[in-house]
Amino acid sequence: VFTAATVAAAPEDPLFGLMKAYREDPSDKKVDLGIGAYRDNNAKPWILPVVKKADDAIHNDPTLNHEYLSIGGLADFTSAAQKLIVGADSPAIREKRICSLQTISGTGAVHLGGLFLSKFHPQKPAIYLSNPTWANHNQIFTNVGLTLAKYPYFSVKTKGLDFTGMIAALEAAPHGSVILLHACAHNPTGVDPTEDQWKQIAELMRSRSHFPFFDTAYQGFASGDLVRDSWAIRYFVEQGFEMCVAQSFAKNFGLYGERTGAFHFVSAPGPDAAAASAHIASQLAILQRSEISNPPAYGARIASRVLNDPELFKEWEADLRTMSGRILEMRQGLRERLEKRGTPGSWDHITSQIGMFSFTGLSEEQVMTLRSKWHVYMTKNGRISMAGLNTNNIDYFAEAVDSVVR
């Protein structure tokens, strides 16, 4: 029989433990580089000015109320989210072969896609995840009954992409495997394939009939350019792939807690594509209904206002450049400082990696020394959140890294 006493304690979430240790550290020098959210130069959360503007307009809009959204979410939001990720002139939109539902941010979108594949893929396939990947991928896909497989991704030696290893694994994967790909700003490494490498990945995936599942959590936040950060997805659509896309607006709108995201399924071109897409939409709606009934309205209303208003959209692009620009400055600043000190090792990966995170190459032992001796908090795998660096702590951090590396 089931009793409460039969439930063992779950292991502590490593990020949660890190945050707790940081909070409890009384030092005024402490630096939080574990955080997965943008911080301004004063280490404070940043409400995007365009989000504030949209928010004010929503508060003063007498036509809005607190009724349920539809199962698929706010239609103005999902259609704008579609255009943003595949491009407004995409054949997938024109040919009505992309269906989209609003989800509980990116996590909910990954989950909905995983659940859909688990129910409707005839073979219940393994899902191939990059090694390493965003830790939650493992739990989300396991929870919906998919088995996990890995492909090599990060080269410890070059601190860049292990392209040869990745290609070999995708080649060896069973025909028709599902491959999870980070669209840009790979979490946790900050390492992305080049456009040429993406083309080779696509070619190989087509020859093996693999199915891409894109996770896009950093569009516009990585390079500051929304089109550039969606290049890989647009290329795969152009190549006629069928695919899942999980899209988060947490980072690029700073709407973390509002849980704003979308799931898209793109069907392959062909005479029956629009009908297939409608069938898929109807099945996704049933899954959504059983899980959340209908998604939350607030964040989607904000994003929808910005995405559908050309003036606000421009302001958003400027806000994106503010965030990505500050992060790029921190990357350059850190590399310069380490090189100036002559810190042993090469540090060019700090600027060649992109997005919120950098895989520094620091060992677990070095990470632990940084924590105990320098009050610098990062995950054990040596990942730092660039957003945690600012002009007040970057010198101190460079000094700390220099000291543990020597």
The number of C-alpha atoms within 13 Å of 46 and in the hemisphere containing its C-beta is 21
Q: What are the two backbone dihedrals, phi and then psi, of residue 187, each rounded to the nearest 5 degrees?
A: -105, 120
- Determine the interface stretch with ligand PLP among 65-73, 103-111, 314-322, 335-343 (rule: CB under 6 A): 103-111
Nearer to ligand PLP (CB atom), residue 245 or residue 370 = 245
Choosing from 250, 280, 307, 323, the residue that interacts with ligand PLP (CB under 6 A) is: 250
319 lines the binding site for ligand PLP (CB under 6 A): no
Q: Which of 32, 53, 134, 162 is catalytic?
A: 134
- Determine the interface stretch with ligand PLP among 23-31, 101-109, 337-345, 381-389 (rule: CB under 6 A): 101-109
Q: Is 46 annotated in the active site?
A: no
Q: How far apart are CA 14 and CA 3, in angstroms?
A: 28
Q: How far apart are CA 306 and CA 327, in angstroms?
A: 23
| Chain centroid, CA 323 distance in Å | 16
Q: How far apart are CA 351 and CA 348, in angstroms?
A: 6
List, in sequence order, every residue forming a beta bridge with 98; answer none if it has no partner: 266
Q: How far is the CB of 129 from ligand PLP (least distance, A)?
A: 11
Contact by Cβ (8 Å): 303, 253? yes
Q: How far is the CB of 116 from ligand PLP (least distance, A)?
A: 17
- Determine the interface stretch with ligand PLP among 65-73, 99-107, 304-312, 373-381 (rule: CB under 6 A): 99-107
Question: Which residue matches tokens 């421009």?
Answer: 314
Tell me the residue length of the chain. Answer: 406
Angle between helices 231-238 and 195-207 (to 10 degrees): 40
CA distances from 242 to 50, 200, 299, 380 (A): 34, 17, 28, 37
Nearer to ligand PLP (CB atom), residue 105 or residue 219 = 105
Q: Is 319 annotated in the active site?
A: no
- The SS3 call for residue 95 is coil
Question: Which residue matches tokens 């007498």?
Answer: 62
Q: How far is the CB of 130 from ligand PLP (least distance, A)?
A: 10
Characterize the bridge pairing of strands 243-248 and 260-266: antiparallel
Contact by Cβ (8 Å): 387, 35? yes
Contact by Cβ (8 Å): 230, 82? no
Nearer to ligand PLP (CB atom), residue 326 or residue 383 = 383
107 lines the binding site for ligand PLP (CB under 6 A): yes
Choosing from 22, 38, 134, 211, the residue that interacts with ligand PLP (CB under 6 A) is: 134
101 lines the binding site for ligand PLP (CB under 6 A): no
- Determine the interface stretch with ligand PLP among 24-32, 86-94, 100-108, 333-341 (rule: CB under 6 A): 100-108
Return the residues of window 261-280 that contact ligand PLP according to CB under 6 A: 261
Total Cβ atoms within 10 A of residue 294: 17
Q: How far is the CB of 319 from ligand PLP (least distance, A)?
A: 18
Nearer to ligand PLP (CB atom), residue 54 or residue 112 = 112
Largest pairwise CA distance in the chain: 65
Q: How far is the CB of 52 from ligand PLP (least distance, A)?
A: 20
Angle between helices 49-59 and 298-307 (to 10 degrees): 110
Return the residues of window 163-202 that contact ligand PLP according to CB under 6 A: 182, 187
215 lines the binding site for ligand PLP (CB under 6 A): yes
Nearer to ligand PLP (CB atom), residue 113 or residue 125 = 113
Nearer to ligand PLP (CB atom), residue 256 or residue 396 = 256
Q: What is the DSSP letter of 68?
A: P
Q: Is 215 annotated in the active site?
A: yes
Q: Which of 32, 53, 159, 251 is catalytic?
A: 251
113 lines the binding site for ligand PLP (CB under 6 A): no
Nearer to ligand PLP (CB atom), residue 177 or residue 189 = 189
Nearer to ligand PLP (CB atom), residue 171 or residue 291 = 291
Q: What are the two backbone dihedrals, phi and then psi, of residue 129, each rounded to the nearest 5 degrees?
A: -110, 145
Bond before 188 cis per omega within 30 degrees: yes
Binding-site string for ligand PLP from residue 32 to residue 61, where x marks contact by CB under 6 A and - marks none? ----x-------------------------
- Active centre residues (catalytic): 134, 215, 251
Binding interface with ligand PLP (CB under 6 A): 36, 105-107, 134, 182, 187, 215, 217, 248, 250, 256, 261
